[in-house]
Each structure stands twice: as structure tokens, then as C-alpha cells.
Amino acid sequence: MKPRVLQKGAYQPALEKALAEQFDVHQLWKETDQAAYLSAHGSEFVALATSARWGADAALIEALPNLKVISSFGVGYDTIDVNAAAKRGVLVGNTPDVLNDCVADIAFGLLIDVARGISASERFVRRGDWQSGAFALQTRVSGKRLGILGLGRIGRAIAKRASGFDMDVRYHNRRRLEDVGFTYEASLADLARWADFLVVASAGGPETRHLVSAEVLSALGPQGFLINIARGSVINEAALVDALVNKKIAGAGLDVFANEPQVPEALLTLDNVVLLPHIASGTHETRQAMADLTLANLRSFFAEGRLLTPVS
Ligand code: 8YV
């Protein structure tokens, strides 16, 4: 008998197909009354297939009394109650590493875009404004100072790209890392004060909530740019809107927001902000690799009782 897997939301077609071939899958999001379905059938499921976006809260984990494993599509697991899972002995797997390059590429894309005004100048051309004069001068990227908040797998991929732009890199983390040559800044505000560009690449969740505060933004200053490819929760979004509207920082490149898909209204009309709809991992190649790993974690659990990439 195939293991019974509860699928929380709609995946890309190839992953849906592979899951359905290899497991006895039920697609929870198709239920009109999910709570009623779970109370009648929750005990049937040994596995939950979810994503960084859909997560798995304590109530869902509790509604699945025979759950043994959660496989999540995505590297971030701030939406999964890993403590509730651990208490029940439920293993949790995510999809690290396979998305590092694409996320780092978008971090640099945002950085260059906001500094050089790529999107803003493109709008300028489309509006026909070029007929009336040249686009305003912007800010150089090469040779500048890059501060990275969170030098994990993605942060390191960003630092690697920075060397191609002759940038000086420093970082702030929970603790100094022994295996990197970059300068560690023990204070995030000091890193922001030093940096021309501050890139947020840390995990989300309660430990990093609002780390980028009004104070950090004011340390970044009117010449500094903020890039976020991590989670909206890491930044105090109200303080960021204030900093952008009142030119307390030079600009921001944002792929993530506090309440996605809501984007603060005040940002929509600003030319010093580049707004992306959480696309950093969104390439055919990377999403396929994430799908493969989501599936491989489930297969590994049922074949060998262990996950290839358990959350750390
Ligand atoms: C995904 C992400 O787009 O992996 C993550 O943590 O945020 C993104 O890569 C998305 O969250 C998958 O659901």
C-alpha cells in the first residue's frame, strides 16, 4: 500500500504528477471545509507535503495524529511550527542549497536595478520622458561596500557575486563565522553605517523579526540602499516605508514583504524602490530542483526512515 500523503496546496504540475504516482495523495486545498475534512480523515495521513508559503501550524500538526514527516517545498521554514513537530517526533525536511544561486542572482539584480535606476529609467522611456531630456544620474555599484545580514548559504552566494563587482564585503550574523575571510560586524547598526548596500539574507521567524529597525535604517543613511530577498518579517516595514518616503535611505530592492501579496500602498508610486512579487527562486531550473528535493525527502523517509535535507 502506498503511504497516505496530505498535500496542502497546489504544486507545479510535474511535482503533482510524481507525488500522485508514488503516494496515495489527498489534496487538502480542494476541500471546501478543511477543518471538517481533517477531523474526519486526519488520522489517515503519515506525511504532509507543504511549502514555505503554506507552512504547517501547530493546529494542522495536531489534526494529523499519525503524522511522521513533513516535506516542504522551499528553504524557509518560518511558517512551519518545527517545535510542535519535534514534540511529536515528526521529521521536517526543506529544500536548501538548490535555490542559492537563483536567489543570489535576484539579490544582485535588485541591487543593480535600484542603484542604477534600471526599472525607473525603463518607465521613463515608456512614458516618453526621454524626448524631454536625459535620465538623472544614478549610483555606482562596482567597488562599493556590501553588508550582508545572514551569511548562510544564500548570503555566501551573494558574497561570491560581490567579488565580481570588486565590492568590499562585511557581514552580521548571530555569531562570527570561522570559515570566512570577511569582516564580522557584531552590531547590525554598525554594519549598516559602514555599508553602501545592506542585503538581508537571514532566516525569517521570531528570532529575526524586525532586526532591520528604524535605528538600523537611519544608520544605513540617505546614501544607503537596502535589499531584501529573505523574509518581510526581518524588516520593520512601517519604518522602511517611512525611510523611503522621507528619503532617510537612498532606496530599496524588495522581493519579500510583511503581508504578501500585499505591498504597502505608499511604495507603489516611489521610483527609489524596486518591487518584486517574491520571485527569487522562481526559475524553471530551480523550481524543478526544489520539486525533486521535496519528493526525494519523502521517498527517502519511506525507504530509509530519514530525510535527505532535514531542517537544521
Ligand atoms: C519560494 C521561498 O518561492 O524557499 C523559500 O523559502 O521563500 C521561496 O523559494 C516559496 O516560498 C515556496 O513556497
**43 falls within a domain:** yes
Distance, CA 73 to ligand 1 centroid (Å)? Answer: 7
Q: Which residues contact 119 (CB under 8 A, 6 or more apart)?
A: 113, 274
Provide the terminal-to-terminal Cα distance of the chain, rounded to the nearest Å: 31
**258 falls within a domain:** yes
**129 falls within a domain:** yes
Strand, coil or helix: what is 17? helix
Distance, CA 76 to ligand 1 centroid (Å)? Answer: 6
- Regarding whether 149 and 56 lie in a shared domain, the answer is no
- Regarding whether 120 and 8 lie in a shared domain, the answer is no
- Cis status, amide bond into 65, omega within 30 of 0: no
| pLDDT at res. 180 | 96
Distance, CA 281 to ligand 1 centroid (Å)? Answer: 7
- Choosing from 29, 53, 97 the residue with most ligand 1 atoms within 8 A of its CB, the one to mutate for a pocket test is 53
Distance, CA 247 to ligand 1 centroid (Å)? Answer: 30
- Choosing from 99, 256, 297 the residue with most ligand 1 atoms within 8 A of its CB, the one to mutate for a pocket test is 99
- Regarding whether 288 and 220 lie in a shared domain, the answer is no
Q: Which residue has the cell 513537530?
A: 85
- Regarding whether 36 and 64 lie in a shared domain, the answer is yes
For 60, the grid coordinates are: 494542522
CATH number assigned to the domain comprising residue 134 = 3.40.50.720
Q: Which domain holds residue 25?
A: 4-97+284-304
Question: How many domains does the structure of the chain reveal?
Answer: 2
Query: Helices H, strands E: what count in the chain?
Result: 11, 12
- Regarding whether 253 and 192 lie in a shared domain, the answer is yes
Give 85-125 pLDDT, tens digit per residue: 999 999 999 999 999 999 999 999 999 999 999 999 999 99
Closest alpha carbon to 69 in 93, 87, 52: 93
Cα R_g (the chain), whole angstroms: 21
| pLDDT at res. 28 | 98
H or E element at residue 198: strand 197-200
Give 159-175 pLDDT, tens digit per residue: 999 999 999 999 999 99
Ligand 1 and 230: CB distance under 6 A: no
**9 within 8 A of 29, measured Cβ to Cβ:** yes
Residues annotated as part of the active site? 231, 260, 278
Q: Which residues of the chain have pLDDT under 70?
A: none
**312 falls within a domain:** no
| pLDDT at res. 312 | 72
